[in-house]
Amino acid sequence: MRLKQSIYLSVVIGCIVACFSNTAISQVNYPTRPIKIIVGYAPGGATDIIARIIAERFTASMGQPVFVENIPGAGGNLGAAAVARAAPDGYTLQLGTMGNMTINPSVYKNMPINTVKDFQPISNIAIVPNIMVVNPSVPVKNVKEFVAWAKARPGQVFFASSGTGNSPHMTGELFNIATGLNMTHVPYKGSGPALTDLISGQGVQVTFDNMPAAINFVRNGNLRALAVTSANRAATEPGLPTIKESGYPDFVVEAWFGLFAPAGTPRPIVDKLNAEVAIALKNPDIQKRLLELGAQPAWTSPEDYQKLLESDIKKWADVAKKAKIEGQ
């Protein structure tokens, strides 16, 4: 009897060891099949652009196809929820934003996810200013003129955003508070649709979008830029003032974009992905492409990214309260 138990125990232990060995080998060999990066917004926005830049580089360096899937809706929550429910094996990732990961918890009553508990931060990728742009038909050339123009039209000025709770939305609300305006917010399912309506003059006059999404429309004359929201002027647009220096010294918004995996993703895979981000951001071509979009490369360790996530959740909860933004 003891011999049978001993043999059985040996078989069980052998199976367990084999299982862990296979898992370890699969992590060391990661990736062995295509990787999906989910973007919770429509194509054409800053998140989508940055995700595709990283996916292209990952494909070249990791030996497996890395593709982007757009799942827009609920301010990025739908895409984030799809990642949170995915297997924690490194094959489904999210290009998360300051908006859907740190602002949404304060502006959505029924969040489908817990952005702290349901995700494993990998690394930040880029920090970008938002840019205040208007339809060229708006007869202003700077922030001061815009404020005067808008105050003369109470109830008639509408600002677009890529979705409720995203940084363009919160930037617009902060602008209302700072200037005493009462512009009406019009949310869209992504930067692409918002910018399309702004360019065509369909019901909105201004937006505070992420620079990568809007800057090319400024350069080709479809939109007029008034200012950036960062603490300092953007290196690629040195002639464009900040809102801070336009008479609002406490006004600073800098959005970030980074890579997340489902909670429980094994540490070897997390470290592999973090290293790939670092390699990508050191690539001169990637640096050039990001900087041309107004984005600053910004690698972090998983631990530092976790700290940024948690601190920004507290920061934007305070902003939402001051802006009297009720949960949806």
Per residue in 175-218, pLDDT (tens digit) is 999 999 999 999 998 888 999 999 999 899 999 998 888 999 99
Q: Is the pLDDT of residue 17 over 50?
A: no
Query: What tens digit of pLDDT does each residue of 71-128 get?
Result: 998 889 999 999 999 999 999 999 999 989 999 999 888 899 999 999 999 999 999 8
> What are the start-end ranges of the E strands in 119-221?
119-134, 158-161, 184-187, 206-210
Residue 38 φ/ψ region, left for φ over 0, alpha for ψ in the -120 to 50 degree band, beta for the rest: beta
Whether the model clears a pTM of 0.85, i.e. scores above it, the answer is no
Cα–Cα distance for residue pair 243/142, rounded to 1 Å = 9
For residue 193, the tally of other CB atoms under 10 A from its CB is 18
Domains in the chain: ranges and CATH:
34-127+255-322 (3.40.190.150), 129-246 (3.40.190.10)
Cα–Cα distance for residue pair 68/190, rounded to 1 Å = 15
